[in-house]
Structure 1
């Protein structure tokens, strides 16, 4: 059967099969062992993290997800007691590679990712994401990855021009969050976009095949005239 979205859907289908089936052949992603000591040329990198509360927008985006919201609401009287951390991994010498995000128990917010075009010996963004989260919390505790303020052109354009118009009466941008469940072709196609590939590769590099999968994707907008696109990925165990 022909794909509804031939540019992105076929690779999205591959990612889904690799995540769901330990025996699915052809997966190019290996378990990542990257940490601050094993970064290539560690002195070329700057890794920083500090405690800080989530923003009101971040809090709003995770309401209803089953996370400990009460523990994450900012408390100005006790700023150093936040369980959340701002974490950055930036290559400062020899090229551009960076991941900047905020980490809370059960959720990883990513709002800046950069990597030199291939060929590049720099770590993949999925490897840096795993390295960042497991610095602070057990990997198995992660339930959501939210990529904030999508600036990757192919992903943003595809969501705007193809994904939203696929839903009758829906225009882009929308003030209402949109949920895309597996096995909708829109879900599969988003998984095949550059941003979806990063998150899918993160799951495979963190857990291997047949352990965790993306079960649901949520797209939503905020900011002035709803100009900021965010994409959230819900992680769950693969049911055997």
Structure 2
């Protein structure tokens, strides 16, 4: 049985109906279909006999610096006058004997950096929440950057639908009202971000408002997810 439901007007199956489902879970605290519960995981909860955690000062890499400049207002060493690293790197690895499995990497808006193995528990969305909350209040989360995409499911969606719609695509953002937004949210990367918000805040509190796609010539895909409060009552859009 499929976990998503096609409706008339769906242009981007299977991703669009999946993304619509995740969007509805984030927006509606009464949606009983959502089984994602708030996560209480903290970094200190990770058993250090099974995990290696390293936190060090780290300057924002050039690629991520360029991405933050597109947003504006995010601090970097260059615009703060601080010669020391303004950010820090958080590395997390599972202490498994098999080291041949590919690692996943992603950056949060304050340069929190996580490396975990795809098959490990807890989930990546839970670890993302724990890493961010270790240094910042969850309420300050405004952006999630995903750089150098390696996930084939997300790349397939981008290659089949998004880039074919915009042959000149270098940077373009999609609002939550657009069909492409639901398609991107329905990818594995979009699902991870949706689960991050659901696990951190629960339903009806935070949602993804906008998804930006960046594709420089000859470079990998980058994504930016803009986060906002879920409007309440008459303010809901």
User: With structure 1 as the length reference, what TM-score do the two structures score?
Assistant: 0.83
**Local SS of the residue matching 2:45:** coil
Q: Is the 8 A contact 2:108 2:144 kept in 1?
A: no
Matched, 1:163 2:162: yes
**Local SS of the residue matching 1:61:** helix
Q: Is the 8 A contact 2:93 2:116 kept in 1?
A: no
CA gap 1:216/1:72 in 2 versus in 1, 3 angstroms: farther
Instruction: Work out the CA distance in 1 between the residues paired with 2:164 and 2:81.
Output: 42
Q: Is the 8 A contact 1:89 1:98 kept in 2?
A: no
Q: Is the 8 A contact 1:87 1:101 kept in 2?
A: no
Instruction: Work out the CA distance in 1 between the residues paired with 2:203 and 2:77.
Output: 32
How many residues are aligned here?
Answer: 223
CA gap 1:114/1:46 in 2 versus in 1, 3 angstroms: same
CA gap 1:180/1:26 in 2 versus in 1, 3 angstroms: same
Q: How does 1:1-240 map to 2 (within 5 A)?
A: 1-2=7-8, 3-39=10-46, 41-69=47-75, 71-73=76-78, 78-80=83-85, 82=86, 84-93=87-96, 100-105=105-110, 114-116=117-119, 122-166=121-165, 170-171=166-167, 174=169, 176-222=170-216, 225-240=217-232
RMSD of Structure 2 on Structure 1 (CA): 2.5
Instruction: Work out the CA distance in 2 between the residues paired with 1:142 and 1:73.
Output: 22
Instruction: Work out the CA distance in 1 between the residues paired with 2:63 and 2:123.
Output: 28
Once the two structures are TM-superposed, the CA of residue 37 in structure 1 deviates from its matched residue by 3.2
Instruction: Work out the CA distance in 2 between the residues paired with 1:109 and 1:164.
Output: 29
Q: Any stretches of 5+ residues in structure 2 without a counterpart?
A: 1-6, 233-237
Q: What do the CA deviations read for 1:203-230 (whole angstroms, capped 9, x no partner)?
A: 10011101100000001024xx432110
Instruction: Work out the CA distance in 1 between the residues paired with 2:48 and 2:54.
Output: 13
Once the two structures are TM-superposed, the CA of residue 180 in structure 1 deviates from its matched residue by 0.9
**Local SS of the residue matching 2:207:** strand
Q: Is the 8 A contact 1:111 1:147 kept in 2?
A: no
**Local SS of the residue matching 1:130:** helix
Q: What do the CA deviations read for 1:49-80 (whole angstroms, capped 9, x no partner)?
A: 111121232122122524333x5438897325
Instruction: Work out the CA distance in 1 between the residues paired with 2:88 and 2:107.
Output: 6
Once the two structures are TM-superposed, the CA of residue 101 in structure 1 deviates from its matched residue by 4.2
Instruction: Work out the CA distance in 2 between the residues paired with 1:19 and 1:75.
Output: 35
Q: Any stretches of 5+ residues in structure 1 without a counterpart?
A: none
Q: Is the 8 A contact 1:49 1:88 kept in 2?
A: yes
